[in-house]
């Protein structure tokens, strides 16, 4: 009987040692084949086998848990899981509706995430959607804690500045305006010419600046008691004007439909300390892409001040 028991133990020792490794169980000794053994040696080996099984978590009470080597590297332990499905590995796991607490990420769904220095909060109201279009960057900078209420319809646009210049020659052109422009503000600051021809603003499209079919009226004064008015068909004109005037102010051009534009402006005349007002309309043959500042006769030259445009 002892020989049968030790033979079985010998087979079990060899198979368990190879199957699980010496960290689980490593026999101390065993009799050679056909040799007699002792019960004490058998009990000693069984104690070692039991000690190896003690390194495994119990089955009772550990249902649906997974096992892992403990932090000390001395045994296996049962770990409580949350959720259902397959186990998760480090590279490219697929998670379905996970609940994530405090996490660190550099990219989610190909969207790069830059971690703030300390903390930040992004809150979306229930049922809301945040959508951007176009391959451009959006930067919002605040210096306080403002609340911004957006309209329910329409499109927000940015105000873009042209390049301010000191006018010279017979005209100044601002070109390359984008096709989606709906509003242009032309700014004058102390602008003067060498003659008495009225200053004028013209608009154009890819075919060039258009100098016909304007409906424009301007009213101004050369003295506090003298008010004069003029109409213009070659551009949006400013009245009155002479070589000693320095004009400051702004004209706003607004697209009303398609390629139809209206103009409205208010300027000051340094010569008479008076106001110049003007307005009009013009329909272009194509999409507006340029603005010209010139004079009615086209030969007087600009000799001072600053001009610029803003568009949106």
- Tokens 């033979």 belong to residue: 7
| CATH 2.30.29 for the 160-311 domain, yes or no | no
- Contacts for 239 with CB less than 8 Å, ≥ 6 apart: 198, 218, 219, 220, 228, 229, 230, 276, 278
> Looking at residue 300, what is its pLDDT?
95
Q: Are 203 and 253 in contact (CB under 8 A)?
A: yes
* Residue 77 buriedness (CB in 10 A; 0-12 / 13-18 / 19+): middle
What pairs with residue 78 in β-bridges? 67
Q: What number of residues does the chain have?
A: 312
> Looking at residue 9, what is its pLDDT?
46
Tokens of 88: 């998760």
> Looking at residue 64, what is its pLDDT?
82
Helix (H) or strand (E) holding 309: strand 302-311
Domain boundaries, the chain: 1-82, 160-311
3-state secondary structure of 201: strand
Q: d(Cα 223, Cα 86) in Å, to the nearest integer?
A: 89
Q: What is the pLDDT along the chain (312 residues), one digit of tens a residue?
A: 444 444 444 444 444 444 444 677 777 776 777 777 788 878 888 888 888 888 888 888 888 888 888 888 888 888 888 877 777 778 888 888 888 888 888 888 888 888 889 988 888 889 998 888 777 777 878 888 878 787 777 777 789 999 999 999 999 999 999 998 999 999 999 999 999 899 999 999 999 999 999 999 999 876 666 778 899 999 999 987 666 789 999 999 999 999 999 999 999 988 767 789 999 999 999 999 999 999 999 999 999 999 999 999
> Looking at residue 186, what is its pLDDT?
98
Q: d(Cα 193, Cα 244) in Å, to the nearest integer?
A: 8
Start-to-end C-alpha separation, the chain = 101
Q: d(Cα 298, Cα 199) in Å, to the nearest integer?
A: 9
What pairs with residue 251 in β-bridges? 186, 265
Phi then psi dihedrals of residue 293, to 5 deg: -110, 120
Query: Cα 257 vs. chain centroid, distance in angstroms?
Result: 31
């Amino acid at each position: 009987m002892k020989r049968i028991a030790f033979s079985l133990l010998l087979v079990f020792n060899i198979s368990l040692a190879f199957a699980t490794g010496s960290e689980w169980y490593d026999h101390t000794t065993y009799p050679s084949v056909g040799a007699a053994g002792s019960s004490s040696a058998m009990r000693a080996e069984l104690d070692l086998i039991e000690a190896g099984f003690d390194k495994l978590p119990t089955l009772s009470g550990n249902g649906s848990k997974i096992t892992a080597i403990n932090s000390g590297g001395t045994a296996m332990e049962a770990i409580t899981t949350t959720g259902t499905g397959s186990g998760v590995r480090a590279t490219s796991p697929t998670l379905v509706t996970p609940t994530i607490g405090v996490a660190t990420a550099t990219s989610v769904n190909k969207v790069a995430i830059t971690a703030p220095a300390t903390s930040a909060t992004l809150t979306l109201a229930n049922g809301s959607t945040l959508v951007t279009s176009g391959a451009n960057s959006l930067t919002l900078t605040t210096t306080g804690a403002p609340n911004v209420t957006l309209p329910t319809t329409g499109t927000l646009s940015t105000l873009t500045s042209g390049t301010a210049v000191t006018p010279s020659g017979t005209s100044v052109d601002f070109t390359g305006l984008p096709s989606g422009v709906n509003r242009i503000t032309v700014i004058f600051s102390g602008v003067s010419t060498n003659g008495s021809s009225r200053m004028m603003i013209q608009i154009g499209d890819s075919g060039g600046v258009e100098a016909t079919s304007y409906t424009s009226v301007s009213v101004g004064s050369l003295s506090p008691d003298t008010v004069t008015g003029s109409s213009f068909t070659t551009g949006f004109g400013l009245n009155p004007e002479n070589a000693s005037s320095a004009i400051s102010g702004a004209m706003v051009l607004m697209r009303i439909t398609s390629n139809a534009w209206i103009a409205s402006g208010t300027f000051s005349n340094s010569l008479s300390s008076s106001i110049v007002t003007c307005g009009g309309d013009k329909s272009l043959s194509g999409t507006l892409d340029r603005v010209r500042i010139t004079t009615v006769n086209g030969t007087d030259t600009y000799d001072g001040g600053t001009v610029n445009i803003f568009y949106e």
